[in-house]
Structure 1
Amino acid sequence: MTADTMQDDFLLVMTTCPTKESATKLAKALVEAKIAACIQISSPMTSIYRWEDEICEESEFNLQIKCTAQNYSALEVKVKQLHPYQVPELIAVSLTNGLPAYFDWIKETTTP
């Protein structure tokens, strides 16, 4: 795999969930559907944000989702379908550098 084929082919997508159970349910659904290769769920963290003109402070679990750019649309649909939040965080960052064997593994495990 060359650097040219890596650019914009792979994503790190981030979202948060209010409970470990909802994070695990979402992660398993994405991996089982072969939309994502791997999802890491963090320990609880504190999020402070404004919602409906109020400052909120909540405990959340961060999910780091590794997938192909080709699978992003399916990932977005599944997250919106399963996520407990009205407006879930969903941020994707292109991965332009990394271990070629790891990128090969992402592609292999997300191909139906």
Structure 2
Amino acid sequence: MFYITAETMKEAEAISKQLVEDRLVACVNVFPRIRSFFYWEDKAKSEDEVLMIGKTRTALVEKLIERVNELHSYTVPCVVTWEIDKGDPEFLGWIDEETL
């Protein structure tokens, strides 16, 4: 699983579409508006962002991070991942089938 934020819906959709087309991910869910609070360049800030949560295989995480860095407008994009511990075996199999 992964968690990525983007500045706009247009950017989130473009990144999501490309990751699916590249077969690095099986699926991306896009949440249109979240409010992020963070510390950046010595200042506390808050901004609206778009959230992407999706499914991939552990073996593809490094390629996923590399590709997001190529596509993303942020200097340091938020890309974090965690392993899926358990799940519907058919769904987990689908993730494997849809990613290269």
Which category of TM-score, normalised to the shorter sequence, fits these structures?
A: over 0.9
> How far apart, in 1, do the equivalents of 2:32 and 2:93 lie?
28
> How far apart, in 2, do the equivalents of 1:79 and 1:71 lie?
12
CA drift at 1:29 = 0.5
Residue 54 (structure 1) aligned to one of 43, 55, 78: 43
Equivalent residue number for residue 95 of structure 2: 106
Corresponding position: 1:31 with 2:20: yes
Equivalent residue number for residue 20 of structure 1: 9
CA drift at 1:102 = 0.3
Residue 44 (structure 1) aligned to one of 33, 52, 55: 33
Task: Report the secondary structure of 1:44's partner residue.
Answer: strand
Residue 94 (structure 1) aligned to one of 64, 83, 88: 83
Larger radius of gyration: 1
Task: Report the secondary structure of 2:46's partner residue.
Answer: strand
TM-score, normalising length: structure 2: 0.97
What amino acid is aligned across from residue 80 of structure 1 in structure 2?
N
Task: Report the secondary structure of 2:76's partner residue.
Answer: coil
Q: RMSD between aligned alpha carbons?
A: 0.7
What amino acid is aligned across from residue 44 of structure 2 in structure 1?
I
> How far apart, in 2, do the equivalents of 1:43 and 1:22 lie?
11
Structure 1 residue runs without a partner (length 5+): 1-11
> How far apart, in 1, do the equivalents of 2:74 and 2:54 lie?
18
CA drift at 1:65 = 1.7
Identity %: 29
